[in-house]
Amino acid sequence: MVVRSYNILESEAKQLLRGVGYKCRILQKKNDRQGMPFGLVAFRTSGETRYIRIRKVTRRPATMKDVAARCDREIALYQRWLSRLQPDPVLHCEIWIFAVRTGFHCYEVLQDSIREIPTPGP
C-alpha cells in the first residue's frame, strides 16, 4: 500500500510540473545506499533540470528543522553530489514533502543548506 501512495504522489507532482512547462520522468527506485534519492526528474528545453525526491508525512506540515532531520540522508547525498559538480544555475535538487492536510511543501537542497521554494502550480 505504501508503494501505491508514492505512485499517486509522484503522479500528482508530475501533473503540477507539467502545468508549468516541464517534461517529467519517474525513475525506478533502487536499494543502493549510495544511489541518488531521485524519484522524479523534470526538465525544460532551456536546460533547467530538477531532481526531486518525494516524502510523505501524516501529521503536521514539515518545518525546515523537520525536513533537515527527517531527510538527512537524502540531503547529505544531494550535497555530496552537488559538491562534485561545477555550480550550475539550471540544476536543482529538491525534496518535496507531502502533508495530508496541506499538500506539497518544496525545499531545494543547496551545497551547504536547504531553503523552502514555492510549490509549482498551474
pLDDT tens, residue by residue, 42-94: 999 889 999 999 888 877 666 788 888 888 988 998 898 888 888 788 899 99
Query: What is the amino acid identity at position 107?
Result: Y
Instruction: List domains and CATH numbers for the chain.
Output: 2-117 (3.40.1350.10)
Q: Is residue 17 packed enough to be buried (19+ CB in 10 Å), middle (13-18) or exposed (0-12)?
A: buried
Residue with cell 540544476: 91
Here the cell at position 14 is 508530475
- Under a CB-based contact definition with an 8 Å cutoff, are residues 120 and 77 in contact? no
End-to-end CA distance of the chain: 29
Q: What percent of the chain has pLDDT over 70?
A: 84
- Under a CB-based contact definition with an 8 Å cutoff, are residues 98 and 52 in contact? no
